[in-house]
Every structure is written in structure tokens, then in C-alpha cells.
Amino acid sequence: MTVATLQSLIAGRWLGREAHTPLHSALDSNLIYHTHAEKIDFDEAVTYARKTGVPALMALDFQQRAQRLKAIAAYLMERKEELYTVSHLTGATRPDSWVDIEGGIGTLYAYASMGSRELPSSNVLHEGPAIALGKRGGFAGTHILVPRGGLAVHINAFNFPVWGLLEKFAPSFLAAMPCIGKPATATSYLTEAVVRMIDESGLLPHGALQLVIGSTGDLLDRLSGFDAVTFTGSADTAAKLRANVNLIRASVPFTAEADSLNCAILAPDVTPDDPEFDLFIKEVAREMTGKSGQKCTAIRRIIVPDNQVDAVGQKLKERLAKVVVGNPQESSVRMGALASMDQHRDVTERVQLLARGNEILFGDGEFTAVGAGAANGAFFSPTLVLCRDGMVNDAVHDVEAFGPVSTLMTYRDIDEALALAARGKGSLVSTLVTKSPDIAAHVVPAAAAQHGRVHILDREAAVDSTGHGAPLPQLKHGGPGRAGGGEELGGIRAVKHFLQRAAVQGSPSMLAAVTGEYVRGAAVTEGVVHPFRKYFDELQMGDSLLTHRRTVSEADIVNFGGISGDYFYMHFDEIAAKDSQFGKRIAHGYFVLSAAAGLFVSPAPGPVLANYGLDNLRFITPVAIGDTIRARLTCKRKVDRNRVDEKGVGQGVVAWDVQVTNQHDELVASYDILTLVQKRT
Ligand code: NDP
């Protein structure tokens, strides 16, 4: 049987014919692929990203790139079974592969959706509001985030060949950065399969994604300060790459996610009779064995009260004994193999280090993996180490055995538990299992200084908990210190990491022109046509209406109280209102809001299809009986999400700046209203 040679995707061409490094199946050590021997011309790759990738990505705006991400996600989802077939060779069970494959595709969907909700239909992201910098309103300042014009190099570990690439690719793609992906060699065949699919989809702009199989050669030496490098893998490699002279000289942003001795703490309030005790056992066992313990978030240290250690040890042993290890094609199998025999050797050596001075509670007995060829596969027994004095043992806090291996250790009081957790020198995630909000309030702020994410588990959260081990697109992933000090995911933050933030100063009109967002004090356009009668395509930022006036009467307040049922003393009790900070009865804030709508709407049917909310509402000056109010409505921001309704009619989002003022021109209420507006075309 001929063994396929993997190929790199460089400058739009698949490259590689000659076999180089052999890659083996984790299940039976059979030869399955070779990397290619041909050298990659990294000058060509970088030039292609800069000259072809950047312009192609910049020809689209944030919204259009979000749409492409969604289309790619849908394309991959349709072909996911092909990826599962390849993923099997990494030793993963179907649930393990689900996390990698569908977790990765799900991350593309999540970024498509967050991008569509939160990013503009341009390439300038305004991080307002603008702040006045002078007394006369002529000078203001604000922040914008713009594409950097460079490329992103994403270097990944072997454990998540699909998710690892896609979770980094999605935010950098939204940020208009062409990406060069470099998977870990051991499982690069699965990354190659997913990149091949993306390439075949034809959905990516030219140059947006390149793939390196094998070494990165002199790639990092060719980067400039407008590029970025992200890395997931061992702390040693992170330290080496971080110190690359060119990266330092050119101030190339370098983000690392490295080794992490994550922990789970069982709080002292939980007893074996509580459901929380079982939740703790389940979570620890799941995190030890999921993906054969090869997760950057896996629980490596199990921190429990000293009077509970025997009960916890016993329960964990019972659970681990039920885990059938072997070829996932066998229906009884719950845990697959490590990714390679190299990893098997590495984990074996590290378990020996952990065992010194400690006891192996589970995993040093006879172990047989089930299934065809399993005797030659990279299977490893779940292994539980017991450390009776974690405060004096260094190895249990320093040595990460990247497999189904954890150490159980004890504490005397909760502050000692925190001290043990801190000995990990910075981790990605910790779990606290407690019934007590007071304990959570004490533990979490201290744990948060040491961990990128803190997961609190009790019976209430268990119903929906996504678990200790799952990094979510909406939440930050990455931890301080040993964990690399980087940040990934976390919603739109991740896109911002790949953009350049600049402060901009100038007149409000200039800031409005630059940001694409009306800034108060900027010139407005008042025409004969009411802004609500203009279609999305006709509306211009700054189109404005200053309404007629309305004097607020006591009858207004009484009627509004009657309709709303709001008889608060400030509006209805002359005596109490006199004693209040305003010294008199005032109108309901919501009356002012409603009256303003009455002043600015154009009631007949028209292109404004819906009002779906308001942002930034502030009541600034009270409105008293006899005060006269008016409103200014200004088109603040237009976002074209390229959407059509069920009849095929196009529509866009328009945010309107609303200022309600009184007879002294004082601002009484200020807010943005959000509408959907029909397109003419
Ligand atoms: P490595 O640090 O060895 O490799 C990570 C990535 O860096 C791989 O793509 C690797 O490529 C690449 N790489 C290595 N050296 C260089 C270099 N000089 N220049 C450019 N790229 C380089 O980690 P592994 O994936 O092999 O995993 C080893 C250990 O890392 C695990 O046992 C575990 O302890 C830890 N790890 C931590 C994770 C986390 O998220 N916290 C995740 C996974 C692993 P190549 O494979 O071609 O060498």
C-alpha cells in the first residue's frame, strides 16, 4: 500500500511529493502518512500573504468576512464525517473528535454570529464614545481599531488539529489578517484534511489561509511589527520562540498558550452525602480521561480537604476502573490512545517523576487495551497519584504528564488549598466545587489572579454546566504565568487582539467622517425629507431632525401614571416631592422617552420596519411641570448585515442618536435607538 505524502498550501498551490518524516497511527503504530521533503520558500509565503491575502481580505468589510466564516462553517459541517474518519487515527474516540471537529466548526459559527452582531460594515471599528477635549466643543478624541495590514502565523499543538487552527483562524480572519497555519507534525494530517476542504470550498479570498506541514524554517525571521504570532504547545517551545531575535526587534506581538497544571478544589463544606461530592468525582474523572487527558485544560491537580482524601480516592478509583481503554471502534471503549508513541514515552517518564515520594493509587497494575492492534498502539492507563504533602512536593506542581494522569493532594484549610493552587504558577482553568456562596466569594478572586478561567460547580450549575475543560468562544481562554500569559477567544476581544488600536483627535465632524459614526457636535444635515422616510441606501450618517416643542403639563404626568401604573411619590406627592432632591414634582423619565418618540416619529408606514431597542439611556436633567422639551434625532450608524427578509426585501440596522433638551437647551435625556430599515434596492 502506498502511503500518502502530506502537502503544504503555499501561495495558492499544494506543494509536496517526496516523502520525509513518517507519521504513525496512534491506534496500532502503522505507517499512515509522510510529511513532504520539499523545502518551503517562506519568502514566497509571506509575500503572497502580504501582496495577495491582505488586499483580498481588505476588499471585504467586517460584515462580509463574518458571512464568509458562516459559509465556510456550513461547508465543513456538511463534510464533517470525512474529518471524523481521519481523526480516528489520532487515537480519539468519537466524543473526543466531536470536541475537535464540531467544536472547531462551532467556533467559526460563533465568530460569524458575533461578528455580524458587533462589527461594522466597514473596516474601522469605533471604540467610542468620543470625549470632548476642549470647552468650546471644537476638539474631541476617540479610539478606532483597524486591520494591521500584516499576517498571522498560528502555531499549534498536536492535541486539537482542527479546533486549534479554527479557533485562531476565525478571529484573525475577521480582523483581515491572512493566516499561515502550522500544525504540530504528529497530527498534521488532520489539519491538512480540514485546510484542503476549506480550500476546495472556494469561499476563502486568495491568500487568506496557507498551511505549513513540517518545519517553519525562517518564517519567523521574516515577520514585521504589523504581523502577529500565536502559539499553543509546550512552555519550552514558547520560551524559545518568544526569544526569536527578529520577533523581539520588530515588536511582533507573540501570544502563547502553554503548559498548565490546572486544578479542581473540593471546598470544605462539601461532604460525601452532598450531590456536589459526586459532581466533583465525575468532573475530575471526565477531565482525566477525556481526549486521553491530552487537553490543555485537563485537571492535573485534585485538591481536597485532608478528611475527605480517602473517600475521594476510593470513588475516583472505582470510576477509573470502569473506563475501558482501547481502539474506539470497539463499542465498549471509553478512552482512546495518546497521539503517538513519542507521547507515550514522554508521559511514562513524567509519571515516574510524579511517583517519586508519592503513591500511585490507580494505574500501576496490569493494563491491557482492547481492540485490533492495540498492543502496538499508544494506549495509557488512567493514572491517579496521591501526594500527602503537596506543600513540600515540587514535582506535582511542575511536571505536566500530558495524558490521563492527575495527582490527588490534601489541604488543611481553604487558604492552604489556594496556596496549593497557586503553586501551579499560573494555569488556564480551575474548578471550585462548593455549596457556599461565601466560600466562592472568598476563593474566586484569589484564584482569578492565577487562572484564566474559574468554573464554580454546584448542583444548580450542574444542570447546564459546559464543564471544566471546555473553552468557549464567548469566554476568554488563556492563563497567566506558566500557562503562557496569552489570551484567546473571549468574544470580540479576540478580534480586537488582531487589530491595531489608535487614538484619534480632531473636530467632531472629522471624527464622525473617520469613524463612520455620528459624533455629537459634528455637522448634521437637515432636509425636507423626514429621516424615517428614507430608505437604508439613502440615509446618510448625520441626517438629522430637530422636532417641534411640547410643554409638559400636570395632566401628562397624571395620564402617564394612569397608563403605566407608576404612582411614585416624585410624580404624584406634592409634599414628598418638595422634600426630595428636586424640590418639586417631576415627570416620569419614561414619559420623557415616550413623549420624545411622539415628537420624532413619522407615523405613516415607511421604510423603518422595527424599533428593536435602545442603548446608553441616561436621564440627565429632571423635567418639571411647565418645562418645554424637544428632541434631536440623528442617524448615528448604519450597519449593512447583507440580510433580506422572507419576502427577499433587503434591510439594514440603523442606530439613531437622540438628544432631548428643555427650554434652556439643557440635555434632559440621551440615548441611541436601534431600528431596522428597509433597502430600496
Ligand atoms: P511543542 O511545544 O513541541 O510543539 C508545539 C508546536 O510548536 C508544534 O506545532 C511544533 O511543531 C511547533 N514547534 C516546535 N518547535 C518549533 C520551532 N523551533 N519553531 C517553530 N515551531 C516549532 O508541543 P507539542 O505539541 O509536541 O506538545 C508537547 C507538550 O506541550 C505536551 O506534552 C504538553 O505538555 C504541552 N502542551 C500544552 C498545551 C496547552 O495548550 N497548554 C497543548 C498541547 C501541548 P512540530 O510538531 O513540527 O515540532
Per-residue H/E/C for 471-500: CCCCCEECCCHHHCCCCEECCCHHHHHCEE
The alpha carbon of 419 and the centre of ligand 1 are apart by a number of angstroms equal to: 29
Is the predicted pLDDT of residue 2 greater than 80, yes or no?
Answer: no
State if residue 36 touches ligand 1 by the CB under 6 angstroms criterion.
no
Residue 2 carries which DSSP code?
A: P
Asked whether the beta carbons of 309 and 284 are under 8 A apart, the reply is: no
Other CB atoms within 10 Å distance of the CB of residue 403 = 28
* CA Rg value for the chain: 30
Asked whether the beta carbons of 288 and 264 are under 8 A apart, the reply is: no
Give the type of residue at 347: V
What is the rounded distance in angstroms from the CA atom of residue 651 to the CA atom of residue 631? 26
Helical packing angle, 163-174 and 62-78, nearest 10°: 160
Q: How confident is the model at residue 373 (pLDDT cuts 50, 70, 90)?
A: confident
Is the pTM for the entire model greater than 0.75?
Answer: yes
Please compute the mean of the pLDDT values over residues 483-496 and round it to a whole number: 96
What is the rounded distance in angstroms from the CA atom of residue 309 to the CA atom of residue 477? 30
Q: Catalytic: 296?
A: yes
pLDDT digits (tens, 9 = 90+) for 178-209: 999 999 999 999 999 999 999 999 999 999 99
Helix (H) or strand (E) holding 678: strand 667-678
Q: How confident is the model at residue 109 (pLDDT cuts 50, 70, 90)?
A: very high
**The C-alpha cell of 50 is what?**
502580504
Predicted local distance difference test score (pLDDT) of residue 309: 96
Percent of the chain, pLDDT > 70? Answer: 100
What is the rounded distance in angstroms from the CA atom of residue 558 to the CA atom of residue 392? 73
Strand, coil or helix: 605: coil
Residue in 263, 296, 387, 635 annotated catalytic: 296
197 exposed, middle or buried (CB, 10 Å; 0-12, 13-18, 19+)? middle
Residues in Cβ contact with 642 at an 8 Å cutoff, skipping those fewer than 6 apart: 63, 64, 67, 121, 650
pLDDT digits (tens, 9 = 90+) for 16-41: 999 999 999 998 889 999 999 999 99
The alpha carbon of 347 and the centre of ligand 1 are apart by a number of angstroms equal to: 15
Please compute the mean of the pLDDT values over residues 99-119 and round it to a whole number: 97
The alpha carbon of 427 and the centre of ligand 1 are apart by a number of angstroms equal to: 17
Strands (E), 472-607: 476-477, 488-489, 499-506, 544-546, 550-551
Q: How far apart are the first and last CA of the chain?
A: 58
Predicted local distance difference test score (pLDDT) of residue 387: 96
State if residue 233 touches ligand 1 by the CB under 6 angstroms criterion.
yes
| Closest residue by Cα to residue 640 from 533, 493, 516 | 516
Residue 40 carries which DSSP code?
A: P
Atom of ligand 1 nearest to the CA of 186: 46
Predicted local distance difference test score (pLDDT) of residue 1: 57
Please compute the mean of the pLDDT values over residues 359-382 and round it to a whole number: 89
Q: How confident is the model at residue 627 (pLDDT cuts 50, 70, 90)?
A: very high
What is the rounded distance in angstroms from the CA atom of residue 604 to the CA atom of residue 582? 38
Strand, coil or helix: 331: coil
Is the predicted pLDDT of residue 345 greater than 90, yes or no?
Answer: yes
Residue with C-alpha cell 482553568? Answer: 429
pLDDT digits (tens, 9 = 90+) for 632-677: 999 999 999 888 988 888 999 999 999 999 999 999 999 999 999 9
What is the rounded distance in angstroms from the CA atom of residue 291 to the CA atom of residue 455? 20
State if residue 181 touches ligand 1 by the CB under 6 angstroms criterion.
no
pLDDT digits (tens, 9 = 90+) for 539-586: 999 999 999 999 999 999 999 999 999 999 999 999 999 999 999 999
Helical packing angle, 80-87 and 62-78, nearest 10°: 70
The alpha carbon of 617 and the centre of ligand 1 are apart by a number of angstroms equal to: 49
pLDDT digits (tens, 9 = 90+) for 238-290: 999 999 999 999 999 999 999 899 999 999 999 999 999 999 999 999 999 99
Strands (E), 234-341: 254-257, 262-266, 299-305
State if residue 259 touches ligand 1 by the CB under 6 angstroms criterion.
yes
Atom of ligand 1 nearest to the CA of 183: 9
What is the rounded distance in angstroms from the CA atom of residue 48 to the CA atom of residue 178? 9
State if residue 157 touches ligand 1 by the CB under 6 angstroms criterion.
yes
The alpha carbon of 161 and the centre of ligand 1 are apart by a number of angstroms equal to: 12
What is the rounded distance in angstroms from the CA atom of residue 103 to the CA atom of residue 318? 30
Asked whether the beta carbons of 231 and 237 are under 8 A apart, the reply is: yes
Pairing status of strand 140-147 against strand 550-551: unpaired
Strand, coil or helix: 64: helix
Other CB atoms within 10 Å distance of the CB of residue 98 = 15
CA 312 from centre of chain: 34
Atom of ligand 1 nearest to the CA of 157: 25
Q: Catalytic: 257?
A: yes
Virtual CA dihedral for 57, 59, 64, 67, nearest 10 degrees? -40
Q: How confident is the model at residue 374 (pLDDT cuts 50, 70, 90)?
A: confident
| Closest residue by Cα to residue 115 from 159, 60, 152, 163 | 60
Asked whether the beta carbons of 627 and 551 are under 8 A apart, the reply is: yes
